[in-house]
Amino acid sequence: MKQRNRTTFRPNRKLLSCALASCLAMAAPHVMAQSTSATLRGAVTADSTVTVTNVDTGLTRTTKATNGNYNIGGLPPGTYRIEVTAGGQTSSRAVTLAVGQTATLNLQDAPPVSAPAGDATTLDTVRVTAAMLVETKTSEVATYVSQKQIDSLPQNSRNFLAFADTVPGMQFISSPNGDESQLRSGAQTSSQINVFIDGVGQKNYVTPGGITGQDDSRGNPFPQSAIGEYKVITSNYKAEYDQISSAAVTAVTKSGTNDFNGSFFWDRTSDDWRKATPREEAAGGKTPETTEQYGVSFGGPIIKDKLHFFVSYEAKDFVIPADIIPPNQVDPATLPAAITSQYVSATRPFNQDLYFGKLSWQASDAHLIELTLRQRDEVGVLDVGNQDSLSRATQLVNDETRYDLRSVYSAENWMNDAHITYEESAYNPQPLTKAPSNAYTVVNPSDPGNLSLIVLNTGGGGNFQDKGQEGWGIQNDFTFYGWESHTIKAGVKYKDVKLKAFQQFPPYPRYWYDVNESLTQPYRVQYTTSAAGRDPFVESNNRQFGIYVQDDWEVNDKLTLNLGIRWDYEQTPSYTDYVVNPDIATALRNWTNIQNTDFDVEDYISNGSNRDDDKNNFAPRFGFSYDLAGDQRHVIFGGAGRAYDRNLFDYMASEFYAGAFTTYELNFPTPVHGCGGTSCIPFDPALLTPDGLAAYAAANPRLGGEVRLLSNDLETPYSDQFSLGMRNAVTLWGQEWNTSVTLAHIRGHDGIYFRLGNRYADGRYYNVPGATWGGQPWGQTIPGYGSLVLGDNGVESRLNSLLLSIDKPFTEESGWGFTLAYTYSDAEENLINYAQENASFVGDYPVIPDKLITSTGVPKHRLVLTGIVDLGWDVTLSSKLNIASQRPRYAINCNDAPDFNNCFFDPFEPEGTLGYKQFDVALEKRWNTGTDISFKVRADLINAFNWRNWNQYSDWRGGPGEAVPESFGRRSGNEILWPTRTFKLSMGFDWQ
């Protein structure tokens, strides 16, 4: 398939050579981002020397005690042997450090023993028995997801982010048809999160979804077999985190070790291995489905203790059910055969390939250099199923490439972590059927008054986009430990990224037919033509700059303060240099409808010099932790801070492509569909052809279509975050348990939304005096153009939440692990569709209301339980229970209004205590062959009890003063959220 304006990146040898040379020169402070390295610190006997050695790679760090304290940073997550030498004696112990952890371990009482003989690779027992240090003295609201959980807990997608819902406050959300899987926290959308892999942000600058590649994709952002572990911070992250106002995920990838090892997996499920959906049960058969996932990963030494490699490959091959069916309100027996013949069981393919490679070079005891490469290639089919026929399909090509060259240099009193990065991602949905054809069939035969009900969509798809980002960046964090009781960290980041956006809706003519009248003569056609002098392809060479400084100050052995501030700035030339077409500006200034209304159009007309990028993004962050007894077992923590996200380029570019096409809508008079005005013309069969449509446009030229303008004073969305909580480490039944309870309050500000700028002749928004609903001026367009749409800041959200977690980490000694995550959420917003991804338009009001109402999509109560048990005989049993109360749903209330001119948004919770419930279980058996190879077989049972999570409810409360229908709030259809009970079989082998 030909793809428009897409380029394939081929490494430039000169560029890579320069980058490598630059990185090799980083033996002094240079570059970094959000650190995934761990820090180990604590008290030690005076004049001691502390040496830590990674038992897998041989990486070694040594420091001398200063005033009875030590501090060692730049430690990749893993298991370490710690040796303390003082007074001619050496003590030794082993610990495991997690990603991005600052762990406190006091060593002054370490028992004197001989250091283990031999090199680090002989310490097999250390790997098994090394305790995981718990980070209790942080002010962040954070939880870890371990590699054991990733490897063992049941799941269906192999998306490593799916385990983030084991963290209080997090939701991993899949769309009803499975075409999207996105991570979300609180009342903000998934676009407000950021994921950092090995310290590099994966932010999507153009389209929604939070991270690149997750818009409209059932694919995974990263090969799960390459992820070691990750940390989820739901609020009050430190100043080093940028481009985020919701949750942060920081993950570390696996590295090669001194042992050559690897693994292979293959898993499969199909329609034979799952229960039928309610629709399939009604139809008497299941739609064919096959899901296969497979991959391989391996790594090892190139030079022992010096140079290691790791590579991973994962793939998805899916055949997805997509039944084409009539709407619930229509009896198929009333439809003609030409329509019902297209209601068939159909499938949609999806294929993805993920590649990851990593080289790790321990250049010296103080200097670690890493080079990572990642490639994502996927193609799938969208927009088939329900009332969308096969000819309506959209093909989505979704590719991504990232390179990261990293240098970590550690000295006795300071550490530096450096990144040079390159990224390229492309999001390209376009119609699979290229030829124009009939697009819409509408009407409800049992209710002729309902003329907007879609019975069937056919013909060329309606989605044509070409969007993406490409560029390079450098990041630098410098950490200084030389000031007693202080850990100072400062960083700078610069990125030069080209952003692009193109879209055309609809790309092909759309015809509307009424099945009650004719399937040969339409009553309407809508099509687009290119506007003269307007380039629909938008590119912007954006430059991003960020700087911060923070201090972790150990005031005493109980109180720790975190003080930080960051400043971010982004240049968006496509916004600041944009000049409104002079003809459009003149038309707006002469349009009498908006000369005496609630906004000044001059605030939106850009002349190329009256806009500035937002320079006021100063984000102070403060946190504290207080260790009640000084033993890290009972710690009170809290904080307050501000976090700035960024404006999606999809919104910022809308001025360009909104007016790049002129839309023609022609209506043809019929007995049912009467019409009037200049758009009503007699039907001409020539208008069924491209040549006929072009001839009409040439004979009836229009200046342009919709005009979309952004405020000349746009600001950056941000959130203010407040939290107070307590962590406890307790011993129960001879096991160590970690608990945390947190009260959090998050206020989101300045999200972008779009509103209708049309007004009636007297400047009113509603056509009835005193109205607050209905009668909007949709037909009152700019003379010679289409509607006026204005973009402003104004989306607000509020979240009060209680976050409770209980964790008993899995250990080999106990043979079991358990987690509990409970979230209570009281969420509100002023844009009711804001919680529904990609929704940003307010057309029912002249301006977004100040009043906050219940946020849709956020359940008040959510509970996630997980368990892992070693049954013996190399058999592992794991399970996950996910329960949530009913989430508020979008609804309009006219029942409590005095009349239909004063309806209002009023979300409701459907009947029933539980809105979502799912129990998954997995059983894995391993066989040791007595060689370096072991085999494994695993069975996952997803939604084991086949609980049905219904997704269609009646939302009509009745008209003003009427009795509320009994159907209100009750289930109205048979659509469910996937999955039904599904059995998945996995097989593979490991070698080492």
- What pLDDT sits at residue 127? 41
In the prediction, which pLDDT does 625 show?
A: 96
State the pLDDT at residue 734: 87
- What is the C-alpha separation between 141 and 821, in angstroms, rounded? 13
Split at pLDDT 50, 70, 90, the class of 447 is: low
DSSP annotation of 840 reads -
Say whether pLDDT at 915 is over 70: yes
**What's the average model confidence in pLDDT over 909-916?**
90
Which span out of 662-671, 694-703, 712-721 was modeled with the highest average pLDDT?
712-721
> Average pLDDT, whole number, for the chain?
88
Q: Which two tokens stand for residue 652?
A: 């910022």
Whether 254 shows a pLDDT value over 50: the answer reads: yes
Structural contact between residues 227 and 164, judged by C-beta atoms closer than 8 angstroms: no
**Overall average pLDDT of the 649-660 stretch:** 87
Chain segment 483-542, per-residue pLDDT in tens: 989 999 999 999 999 999 998 888 888 888 888 888 888 888 988 888 776 778 899 999
Cα gap 109→90, rounded to integer Å: 12
pLDDT of residue 443: 62
Residue 985: the pLDDT is: 97
pLDDT in tens, 623-654: 999 999 998 999 999 999 999 999 999 999 99
- pLDDT tens-digit profile of 743-794? 999 999 999 999 999 999 999 999 999 999 989 998 899 998 889 999 999 9
pLDDT at 442: 64
Nearest residue to 785 (alpha-carbon basis) of 858, 702, 842, 725: 702
Q: Say whether 715 sits in a helix, a strand or coil.
A: coil
Per-residue pLDDT tens digits for 797-855: 999 999 999 999 999 899 999 999 999 999 999 976 544 444 688 889 999 999 999 99
* Residue 485 Rama label (left phi>0; alpha psi -120 to 50; beta): left
Per-residue pLDDT at 806: 97
CATH superfamily of the 144-502+537-659+704-991 domain: TonB-dependent receptor, beta-barrel domain (2.40.170.20)
Residues of the chain with pLDDT > 90, as a percent, come to 60
Work out the pLDDT band at 121, boundaries 50, 70, 90: very low
Q: What is the dihedral of CA 335, 341, 344, 346, to 10 degrees?
A: -130
CA 709 – CA 353 distance, rounded (Å) = 39
Which pLDDT belongs to residue 386? 85
- Tell me which range, 62-76, 278-292, 620-634, is most confidently predicted by mean pLDDT: 620-634
* Dist. CA 268–CA 290, nearest whole Å: 7
3-state SS of 462-527? CCCECEEEEEEEEEEEEEECCCCCEEEEEEEEEEEEEEEECECCCCCCEEEEECCCECCCCCEEEE
d(C-alpha 220, C-alpha 13), whole Å: 29
Task: Give the residue among 228, 279, 408 at the shortest CA–CA distance from 978.
Answer: 279
Identify the residue with better confidence: 689 or 355.
355
Residues near 872 by beta carbon (within 8 Å), at least 6 away in sequence: none
Choice between 20 and 300, residue whose per-residue pLDDT is larger: 300
Return the pLDDT at 913.
83
Residue 766: predicted pLDDT = 96
The residue ranking higher by pLDDT, 236 or 438, is 236
For residue 117, is pLDDT > 60? no
Enumerate the domain spans of the chain. Answer: 144-502+537-659+704-991
Q: Are 576 and 609 in contact (CB under 8 A)?
A: no
Q: What are phi and psi of 305, to 5 degrees?
A: 65, 0
Q: Is the pLDDT of residue 223 over 80?
A: yes
Q: What's the CA gap between 443 and 670, in Å, rounded?
A: 14
Q: What is the pLDDT of residue 124?
A: 42
pLDDT mean over 961-967: 93
Once rounded to an integer, what is the mean pLDDT over residues 106-111?
68
Window from 112-126, 142-156, 329-343, 592-606 with minimum mean pLDDT: 112-126
- For the entire predicted model, the pTM comes to 0.90
Q: Which pLDDT belongs to residue 492?
A: 97
Give 16's pLDDT tier (boundaries 50, 70, 90).
Answer: very low
25 has a pLDDT exceeding 70? no
Is-contact 66 111, C-beta < 8 A? Answer: no
**Cα torsion through 479, 480, 481, 483, rounded to 10:** -150
Phi/psi for 388 (5° steps) reads -100, 120
**pLDDT interval class at 5 (50, 70, 90):** very low
**Structure confidence at residue 178 as a pLDDT band (50, 70, 90):** low
Model pLDDT, residue 446: 54
pLDDT tens for each residue of 398-444: 999 999 999 999 988 899 999 999 999 999 999 887 765 556 766 66
Could you tell me the two tokens for 442?
Answer: 């509408």
DSSP three-state, residue 326: coil
| Whether 661 contacts 504, CB under 8 Å | yes
pLDDT score recorded for residue 99: 86
Q: What's residue 268's pLDDT?
A: 96
Q: 846: burial class by Cβ within 10 Å (0-12, 13-18, 19+)?
A: buried
Residue 123 has pLDDT above 70, yes or no: no
Residues 517-523: contacts with CB under 8 Å, at least 24 apart: 517/670, 517/671, 517/672, 517/673, 518/670, 519/336, 519/338, 519/339, 519/441, 521/668, 521/670, 521/683, 522/438, 522/668, 522/683, 522/688, 523/667, 523/668, 523/669, 523/670, 523/672, 523/673, 523/675
- The pLDDT value recorded for residue 678 is 63
pLDDT value of position 297: 97
Task: Give the model's pLDDT for residue 700.
Answer: 86
Before 326, cis peptide (omega within 30)?
no
Q: Per-residue confidence at 24, pLDDT binned at 50, 70, 90?
A: very low
DSSP 953: B
> What is the distance between the alpha carbons of residues 584 and 532, in angstroms, rounded to a whole number?
13
Q: Which of 322-331, 438-447, 922-931 has the lowest mean pLDDT?
A: 438-447
Name the one residue in this structure whose structure tokens are 């892992």. Answer: 868
